[in-house]
Chain A
Amino acid sequence: MLIQLILAVNCLFLTTESFKPSHTNNWAVLVDTSRFWFNYRHVANLLSVYRSVKRLGIPDTQIILMMADDMACNARNPRPASVFNNAKQHIDVYGEEIEVDYRGYEVTVENFVRLLTGRLPAGTPKSKQLLTDEGSNILIYMTGHGGDGFLKFQDAEEITNVDLADAFEQMWQKRRYNEILFIVDTCQAASMFQKFYSPNILAIGSSLVGEDSLSHHVDPAIGVYIIDRYTYFALEFLESVSRDSDRRLSEFLEVCPKRHCISTVGIRSDLYQRDPREVRVTEFFGSVRPVEVYSPKETLLRFEKNLTVIPSNFRQRLTGTALHSPPRKFQYGNQLRIPK
C-alpha cells in the first residue's frame, strides 16, 4: 500500500486512488514480560508476531522488540540459537536477522511507560525510542502473565490497566499515534483494556476477566509449552496474509473462537472510529511508506560549476564528463601485523 504521485513544480496531478492522509507509517511495539525457561511460550509468541510483522514489511527501525529473557541462547535450549513455535519445528522464529531493542532486565514497567510516553533520558539511542508521529499506526502486542487489572513484568513488578490507559492518553495528547491496535495474550487479558479512554484504539484480549488463557501444546523434546492458543491461531491467520492481501480486520477479530481457544476472546471497539470490516489487516501488520516520483518540471536548479574531483594523486578539476582513473586494487588490510 503506497502513495505514488507524479509531482511537478507548478501543478499537482494525483494518479492513485488511495491517498489517505491519515495513516503514513507503521510501527510495532512487541513486549514479552516474563523470564525463565518455563515461560518459553511467551518468547515464542512474541517472535512469531515479530516474524509476521517483518514479513509483511515493517522494517526493524520501526519495530521495538522487548524480550525479557533470552531463550535462544539459554543453557537449556537443546537447539541453541533457535526458537520454535511448533513442536514439529517448522519455522525457526528466531531467524537470521533479529534486532532486540530492550533485552533481559531492561524490560521493566518504567522503561515501557517511558517508551510509550517518550520520556526517555537524553542520550537514549534512536533504536530504543518510539519515534512515531500523528500519522503512525501502532501495533502493540503484549504477552506474559497477567491478572485482573495488571500484567506482571519479570516476576518483580506489575503494570496496571490504569497506568496503561494514562500512558495512551499521554500519547494521544502529543499526537504520537493515529490508531493503535492493542493485542494482549495473558490470563484475564480483557481487564488490561478496560480503563482506556483515548480515541482510536482497538483492543483485543485473549481472555475475559475471570478466565485463563491457555497454552496450545507442549514440546516433549524441550519439556515446556511452546506457544499459547490465541497466538497460535492468530498466527495461522497471519500466515495467510501477504503484503497486498485484502483480508480485513473484522476477520482477524474473529480468529480463535471458543472451541479453539477455550477462553473467550475479548474485544473493545467503542474507542475505534472506523468499521473493522473496512480496515485491512495490513494497515496494522504491514507497512505503508508514502513515496512520490521526483520530477522537477523545469530545470529550476542549474548548477553552474561543473565539477569532478578525483582525490589522491589525480587532483584535477575538469569540465565535462566524468574522468576515469587507473583501477584500484582491492585487497584485505593488514590485520595481523606480524613483524618480519
Chain B
Amino acid sequence: MQLETQYASHLFIFIMLGLGLPLWWKTTEVYRQELPYKDVESLRESFQIVQEVRLILKVKSINGGELAKVIAKECSLPGKFSVVVTPSNYSVEDETLSYLALNLEDFDASLPELEHYHLQIIEVDKSEKPVVLGRRRNLFFEKKTSLNLLAAVIRSILAEEGPTSVVNQDFDGTSDLWNQLSKLRRFASSSFLNVLFTFSNPDPELFDIDWPIEAAIEEYLQPFADNLKDIVDIRPSSQHIYFAPLGVTPRKALHGDGYEISTDLSLLINPLESKLGEQVLPGPTANLVLLVPPARFHPLHLKNRENSDSFIVHRWGGIAFYNPPKDSNGTHWIDMQPVMETFIGQLRLLIGLDIKLPKDVARISLNEKAIADWEVDYLLRLKTIENIAYSTKAIKSLTALLETITNIVISNDVASNVSSSLESIKKSSRLFEKGMLKESYKESLAASERADAAFFDPSMLALLYFPSDQKYAIYVPLFLPVGIPVLLSTWSLLKSFFASSKTEKSNINEQKEKHHQD
C-alpha cells in the first residue's frame, strides 16, 4: 500500500474510533444524576425509632413514686417506647379546682394546659368508671383502679400496639384484624382532605326539603377542623343532587312499617357516584351523603342500625338516610344536629380515630370540638409513623427501580427530591424520638410529599420506550455504510504491515545468508 493511502487510512480510523465512537457514546447516554444510594440503603425499613413519652402523675392518697415506677415499667416497650413518669402530689391549685368543679367534666376543662408532658394521669376520689378519659390531655383514675387496666389504657392511647407494627404497606398476617380494618378504612395521610357534603333528593317534586349546610359547617365542622389544623387541612364543600336512583330494592320491614335494607349496601353507592362529581376536587375527598329515600320506600331504615341510619364506605366516605316527616306544609328544613353528629363521627373514623380501648373505660363526651387533645396526639403519632414508613418505602423502591431499569433519565428535580426526602425522614425520626410530635409530623409530611414528587416525576419517562437493543438497531444502519470502507482499509493496512514485516524479515535473512556465504 502506498504511504499516502496509509496515512489517510490511519487518519480515518483515528477519527472514527478515537473521536466518533466516544462522542456517539456520550451523546446517546441517558442523563442520570447521582442519587444517594448508600444512604437510602441504610434506611431501615422496620420502624426502629424509640419514642420518648413524658407523663405526669398526680396523686392524692396513694404512693405516687411507686405507682410511677410501675407504670413506666409496664408501658415502656424496649426499642419502641421509653415512658418516663413524673410523680407529684396535688398542688394547692389542683385542690381548689377539684373542690370547685361540679363534676369530672368541669375539672377536666379547668385544669391548666400541659407544657412538657404528653399526658396527665390524675387520681380522683370517685368516677363513674375505673378510668375516665377527658377532653384534654387528662386521664382520671380512682384509688381502686387496677394497675393493669391503667397500663393498658395508656398503651392504647400511645398507639403502642398496632400502628407502630404496621410498617410495610402490605398486609402481613401479623398485624391484627382491628388494625388492618382501621388502616383500610382511613384515608391515606395527606396535608389536606376535601369533605363534600351531598344532599340527595330523588323526588324533589314530592319532597320540599332543604338543609342549612353552610351554618352547620360553620357551627359543627369548623371547630373540629380547627382542632385538626396541625394534622390535616379540611376543606368543606356542599352540593345538592337530584333524581339519583336507589341502587337496591329494599324489602318491607319485618317489625313496624316501612322498608329496610340489610345486604348489598355497596350497591347504593354506584348510582350516586356518577352524579357526585367528586373528581372535580383535587386530592383525596371524603363524601358524606345524606340520602332521602324515594317516596315509595318511605320510611327506609338500615336493618342493623343502632344509633344512626348510616354506614361508612372505606376510604370513600359515608352515607346516612334521612326520612322526612310525611306532613309538611312548606319547605322542611332538616335539623342538622343529629345529622352532623353522624357525619362528624364518620369523619373521625375516616381520618383514623379508631382507638381500641379496654372495657371499663369511660370517656367524657365531646362537644363540637369533636376531638380530644390526646386524640390529636394519637393521630400525630399514627400519621408520623405512617408517613415515615411510606416515604422510606417509596425512596427505597425508587432507587431500586432506577438501578434496575438503566435507561430512565434521572433529572435534577428527582435527585433533589430524593435527597430532601431522605433529610426529612431523618429529621422527623430525630424529632419523634424527642417526643416533639407536631414538628416531627410536619417533617414526615414533607418527606412523604417529596418522595411522591420524586417517584411520580413526569420526566422519568422520556426514554422509557427506547431500550438498548433498539438503540443498536437504529445506529448500526447509520454507521455501517461509513464503517465498511474504514474496516476494509484497516484490513489492507494490517495486511501490508504483515507483508512488509515478512519482506523485512526475509531481507534480514538474505543479508544474514549473504554474510554467511561471504
Asked if B341 and A325 sit within 8 Å, CB to CB, the answer is no
- Of the listed stretches A201-209, A247-255, A302-310, chain B binds A302-310
Query: Which among A134, A294, A304 is the interface contact of B311 at CB below 8 angstroms?
Result: A294
Task: Give every chain B residue within 8 A of A11 (Cβ-Cβ).
Answer: 359
Query: Which among B304, B356, B405 is the interface contact of A166 at CB below 8 angstroms?
Result: B405
Q: How far is the CA of A6 from the CA of B404 in the complex (A)?
A: 46
Residue on A with the closest CB to B285?
A126
Task: Give every chain B residue within 8 A of A325 (Cβ-Cβ).
Answer: 330-331, 333
Given A135-B184, A295-B307, A325-B333: A126 and B282 interface contact (C-beta under 8 Å): yes
Given A12-B177, A290-B184: A119 and B365 interface contact (C-beta under 8 Å): no
Asked if B357 and A10 sit within 8 Å, CB to CB, the answer is yes
Given A59-B274, A307-B219: A174 and B328 interface contact (C-beta under 8 Å): no
Q: CB within 8 Å of B: which of A267-323?
A: 287-311, 321-323
Decide yes or no whether B426 CB sits under 8 A from chain A. Answer: no
Q: How far is the CA of A239 from the CA of B13 in the complex (A)?
A: 68
Asked if A291 and B313 sit within 8 Å, CB to CB, the answer is yes
Instruction: For the complex formed, measure the closest distance between the CB of B315 and the CB atoms of chain A, giving whole angstroms.
Output: 8
Residue on A with the closest CB to B363?
A300
Decide yes or no whether A4 CB sits under 8 A from chain B. Answer: yes
Given A173-B397, A173-B401, A303-B337: A12 and B181 interface contact (C-beta under 8 Å): yes
Asked if A174 and B366 sit within 8 Å, CB to CB, the answer is no
Query: Which among B216, B267, B332 is the interface contact of A307 at CB below 8 angstroms?
Result: B216
- Of the listed stretches A65-73, A109-117, A220-228, chain B binds A109-117
Asked if A305 and B208 sit within 8 Å, CB to CB, the answer is no
Given A126-B282, A301-B341: A21 and B367 interface contact (C-beta under 8 Å): no
Decide yes or no whether B344 CB sits under 8 A from chain A. Answer: yes
Task: Give every chain B residue within 8 A of A160 (Cβ-Cβ).
Answer: 465, 467, 470
Q: CB within 8 Å of B: which of A2-17?
A: 2, 4-6, 9-12, 14
Task: Give every chain B residue within 8 A of A134 (Cβ-Cβ).
Answer: 169-171
Instruction: For the complex formed, measure the closest distance between the CB of A233 and the CB atoms of chain B, giving whole angstroms.
Output: 28
Residue on B with the closest CB to A327?
B330
Asked if A109 and B465 sit within 8 Å, CB to CB, the answer is yes
Q: How far is the CA of A301 from the CA of B364 in the complex (A)?
A: 9
Interface SS majority for chain A: loop
Residue on A with the closest CB to B355?
A9
Q: How far is the CA of A159 from the CA of B341 in the complex (A)?
A: 52
Q: How far is the CA of A169 from the CA of B262 in the complex (A)?
A: 41
Decide yes or no whether B51 CB sits under 8 A from chain A. Answer: no
Query: Which among B188, B212, B313 is the interface contact of A308 at CB below 8 angstroms?
Result: B212
Q: How far is the CA of A33 from the CA of B21 in the complex (A)?
A: 39
Decide yes or no whether B2 CB sits under 8 A from chain A. Answer: no
Given A119-B457, A303-B367: A322 and B335 interface contact (C-beta under 8 Å): yes
Task: Give every chain B residue within 8 A of A97 (Cβ-Cβ).
Answer: 274
Decide yes or no whether B486 CB sits under 8 A from chain A. Answer: no
Decide yes or no whether A60 CB sits under 8 A from chain B. Answer: yes
Q: How far is the CA of A330 from the CA of B305 in the complex (A)?
A: 35
Task: Give every chain B residue within 8 A of A327 (Cβ-Cβ).
Answer: 208, 329-331
Decide yes or no whether B302 CB sits under 8 A from chain A. Answer: yes
Instruction: For the complex formed, measure the closest distance between the CB of A143 and the CB atoms of chain B, giving whole angstroms.
Output: 20
Given A109-B465, A294-B342: A59 and B269 interface contact (C-beta under 8 Å): yes
Q: Report B433-466 CB contacts with A as 1/0, cut-off 8 Å.
A: 0000000000000000000000111101100110
Q: CB within 8 Å of B: which of A115-167?
A: 117-122, 125-127, 133-135, 159-160, 162-163, 166-167
Instruction: For the complex formed, measure the closest distance between the CB of B466 and the CB atoms of chain A, giving whole angstroms.
Output: 9
Task: Give every chain A residue within 8 A of B169 (Cβ-Cβ).
Answer: 134, 175
Asked if A301 and B344 sit within 8 Å, CB to CB, the answer is yes
Decide yes or no whether B220 CB sits under 8 A from chain A. Answer: yes
Task: Give every chain A residue within 8 A of B95 (Cβ-Cβ).
Answer: none
Asked if A119 and B318 sit within 8 Å, CB to CB, the answer is no
Instruction: For the complex formed, measure the closest distance between the CB of A288 and the CB atoms of chain B, giving whole angstroms.
Output: 7
Task: Give every chain A residue within 8 A of B205 (Cβ-Cβ).
Answer: 330
List 17 A-B pairs, Cβ < 8 Å.
A6-B304, A97-B274, A110-B461, A113-B461, A119-B458, A134-B171, A160-B465, A173-B397, A289-B269, A289-B314, A290-B184, A290-B313, A291-B265, A293-B304, A296-B307, A324-B333, A325-B331
A122-B458, A325-B333 known; 9 other A-B pairs, CB under 8 Å? Answer: A10-B358, A59-B269, A59-B273, A292-B311, A296-B306, A301-B344, A302-B367, A305-B219, A324-B329
